[in-house]
Structure 1
Amino acid sequence: MNNKNTVLATLVATCLGFSTALYAHGDVVPQSVNTGELETIGEEWLDENPYRAPNEQNALAIDIGSSAYNQNCARCHGLEAQSGGIAPDLRLLEPGLDGDDWYKERVINGAVRNGAVYMPRMADYLSQEALWAIRTYIESRPLPE
């Protein structure tokens, strides 16, 4: 094999290797969240975020929610809850009960349009405690200017 063919073969093999690695990323399994230090909520979904200030566990929920968000939500909704345009900027959710209602609906039912899954049903993978901790974290992030 001459030098030109060797370079071409190496380039093709490298490209195939990268495309396989990218394809392997594929469907990402949500990462588990350790909520052991948070007060247990139970199976029945609450209507309102239980960790919102002035709850004494607010700071802990923000810490847990930060890790959970960045492992499970950031790839679509942006690092540190700053949307990069792929999915909605969650910092813009309405505060309080109205925003909680939309958030709860979305994490329980996901988002499907024309048969395409835009967001999985996160409640199938993460506990209510983890999901409310994520909401608490999102609420702690500064609004865009």
Structure 2
Amino acid sequence: MNHMETTIRTIRSLLAAAFLGGLAATAQAHGDVTPQAVDVSTLKPLGEQWLTENPYRGDKEAIRIGDSAFNQNCARCHGLGAVSGGIAPDLRYLPIDAETDEYFIGRVRHGVTRNGAVYMPPFEGTLSQEAMWAIRAWLDTVHEK
């Protein structure tokens, strides 16, 4: 076998390994989709009434909690650091304003279903309002235009 054939075989092997590795990563991308509890005991309680604007915007403790909560509950679909791999929307591009806050909380609370297919599960009853707003506070810190 000459040098060119060896090089071509090596390239084919590397491409096959990369492809199969990508399939394995995609198959496991969602991992354990059971929502994980979020400890919000250090945050100001928000009460029973659902807010439409993020009360924790810029709050360092909420951002810390939101970072962890996002990684535990959202990153499996929306990507680590909110950098989507295409499975779900890239949340870094959500505008930082009251209108988008209302949109965000509605989607997280009620989920997204189209033609009977669940694109995002509802988190109301699983994550508290405080946890959802903490996630939004963290998303503000990774915002891109």
TM interval, shorter chain, is 0.7 to 0.9
Instruction: Return 5+ residue gaps in structure 1 as ranges.
Output: 1-21
On the 8 A contact 2:70/2:135 being kept in 1, the answer is yes
> Which residue of the partner structure matches residue 78 of structure 2?
77
Equivalent pairs counted in the alignment come to 119
Q: What is the aligned-residue RMSD (CA, Å)? A: 2.0
Q: Residue 124 of structure 2 aligns to a residue in which SS?
A: helix
Partner Cα distance (2:143, 2:47) in 1 = 30
Q: Residue 117 of structure 1 aligns to a residue in which SS?
A: strand
Residue 124 (structure 1) shift: 2.3
Q: Which amino acid aligns with 1:46?
A: L
Residue 116 (structure 1) shift: 1.0
Partner Cα distance (2:62, 2:33) in 1 = 24
- TM-score w.r.t. the length of structure 2 is 0.76
Identity %: 55
Partner Cα distance (1:79, 1:134) in 2 = 13
Q: Which amino acid aligns with 2:96?
A: P
> Which residue of the partner structure matches residue 41 of structure 1?
46
- TM-score w.r.t. the length of structure 1 is 0.76
Matching of residue 32 in structure 1 with residue 33 in structure 2: no
Q: Which amino acid aligns with 1:140?
A: T
> Which residue of the partner structure matches residue 135 of structure 1?
136
Partner Cα distance (1:139, 1:26) in 2 = 25
> Which residue of the partner structure matches residue 19 of structure 1?
none
> Aligned runs of 1:63-74 on 2, under 5 Å?
63-74=64-75
> Which residue of the partner structure matches residue 18 of structure 1?
none
> Which residue of the partner structure matches residue 107 of structure 2?
106
Q: What stretches of structure 1 move > 3 A for 4+ residues in a row? A: none
On the 8 A contact 1:123/1:131 being kept in 2, the answer is no
On the 8 A contact 1:65/1:130 being kept in 2, the answer is yes
> Residue deviations 1:53-77, cap 9 Å, x none?
3xxxx11111000000000000000
Instruction: Return 5+ residue gaps in structure 2 as ranges.
Output: 1-26
